[in-house]
Amino acid sequence: MKQIKQMRNVLFLFCAGLVLLATSCAKENHQLISVSDIHFNPFQDSLIVAQLAKHPSKDWDGIFAQMKNKNLPEYNEECNPILFDLLLQAMSEKKDDVSAVLFTGDILCHDFNDLYEQYTGCEDNKSRDAFIYKTMAYVSSKMKHSLGQIPIYFALGNNDSYRGDYALEDEGEFLKSTCDLFFHNFIHRKGRGDEYPQFRHPYADHGYYSVENPIIDKGRIIGLNTNFFSTNNSDSIWEESPAAVELDWLENQFKTAEANDEKLWLLLHIPPGVNVYSTEHCSKADDLQVYLQWKAPYNKRYLSLVKRYHKNITASFAGHTHMDDFRLIYDKESDKKEALDFIHITPSVSPVFGNNPVFQVLSIDKETGNLSEALTYHVDLKEAQSNFEEEYSYTKTYHRAPNVSGLSRVYPKLLRNTNWRNTYINYYPSSSKATSIEKDWEWYWVGIGNLNAEDYKVAYKGLQEEE
């Protein structure tokens, strides 16, 4: 009996050890949801817009239930309430395994201000701004309630403002009025320290922020406001411009991170680098005109800062292009083939550019903060698919992790490996057949690793000469 009892104790300790080991291994990785470019459209049914304008956002679900059209949007349309609810349901099903959500901006649909005037007949800016605020409150509160206690870290999109596209005002009313809303609906969760003071300044004035990252050890999340950097922003380039001030602030954040040995995640809406679509469509055979996403001085300084402090940057996330893509930042003066930093670009929820709606689940190494996997879930609108289903696994497809090391190896192979290139072309619009870069993939391939005008020109011309 004594021997049997001892054996039971040994077995108990062994099993307990296995449980602890499994728990420890599970905690080595975190999962995140990455979502971008929702572009929520409350104007789908013109008959209910007046009711939406009269009622608080908490009543909107009941009003949307009155819509006659219960279908998902078609290609080249924005995210309607039906798609938004489907998205929240799919993300909610993942929440038990998810530690945080990364949302890289654009809550409002395109041409929001014009649509408001069209469907309400109201030209009053205060009424319009109140409707915009209610739309922001509706989307952010629904995300909060669907995801429970999971924090949502975000960056403002170029459509997220009262004045319209690319028109966010520094120290303007939009930032002041959404500061509390976004903090409580997105970032703050019960049981955690009060992050409000460090979030409020500078978000309430400038639209960017820096908060501690509870997901990884010694981590920090920086949510940038890339609207000020954009070539579509009307502000002129000067020493004390909002963009210059933001880059000064970012440099100080980098210096602090370096001194404290912090690991940084950067959230951007508009990625730096080349606007490939404009570059291709505005160039002639003998005259390559390179257009940037950001104004050249800001693009140059940002890339310089990233090169200087890349050891503290473990991951960067963006949206804006609506497509499944990435960027690599190289030190062109070095012989090293591996990039210094990468930018993960999450495809959009809105199918407005012919893409399928998407969200992603990312796996993150807890200790390093590096990406180890990306699972992409999409709705195939052509197939009348009724829910989000897994489109592909990055590691199973490319046999590399979607981090700086893995992407540095995938990138050159897209040029030579036809199968991988065709896979990249297919997944670029999230497997949609309504749009494609099959005939002009070279323009987009060059844009991945050449983020200023001169490098892009050299790389593109070199590619043409090889052929």
* pLDDT of 195 above 90: no
Average pLDDT estimate for 166-191: 93
Q: At what angle do helices 125-147 and 173-182 cross, to 10 degrees?
A: 20
Query: Which residues neighbour 233 within 8 Å (Cβ) at sequence distance 6 or greater?
Result: 166, 167, 227, 243, 295
Q: What is the structure's pLDDT at 368?
A: 87
Residue bearing tokens 């949302």 = 103
- Do 214 and 151 form a contact (C-beta atoms < 8 A)? yes
Average pLDDT estimate for 51-78: 96
Pairing of strands 263-267, 219-223: parallel
Q: Report the distance separating Cα 237 and Cα 158, nearest Å.
A: 18
Secondary structure class of 205 (helix, strand, coil): helix
Q: Report the distance separating Cα 141 and Cα 143, nearest Å.
A: 5
Average pLDDT estimate for 158-171: 97
Average pLDDT estimate for 159-178: 97
Sign of CA dihedral 95, 200, 321, 165: positive
CA distances from 447 to 56, 247, 325, 367, 424 (A): 44, 23, 10, 31, 14
Q: What is the structure's pLDDT at 385?
A: 64
- Do 87 and 18 form a contact (C-beta atoms < 8 A)? no
Residue 396: both structure tokens together? 């199973």
- Do 316 and 266 form a contact (C-beta atoms < 8 A)? yes
For 52-466, CATH gives: 3.60.21
Band (14; pLDDT cuts 50, 70, 90): very low
* pLDDT of 13 above 60: no
Band (464; pLDDT cuts 50, 70, 90): confident
- Do 39 and 357 form a contact (C-beta atoms < 8 A)? no
- Do 192 and 180 form a contact (C-beta atoms < 8 A)? no
Q: What is the structure's pLDDT at 8?
A: 53
Q: Report the distance separating Cα 161 and Cα 135, nearest Å.
A: 11
Band (451; pLDDT cuts 50, 70, 90): very high
Q: Report the distance separating Cα 242 and Cα 35, nearest Å.
A: 27
Provide the phi-psi class of 41: left if phi over 0, else alpha when psi is between -120 and 50, else beta.
Answer: beta
Name the amino acid, one letter, at 39: H
Residue 66 DSSP symbol? T
Band (19; pLDDT cuts 50, 70, 90): very low
Residue closest to 445 by CA, chosen among 467, 412, 420, 405:
412
* pLDDT of 26 above 60: no
Q: What is the structure's pLDDT at 20?
A: 38
- Do 85 and 79 form a contact (C-beta atoms < 8 A)? no
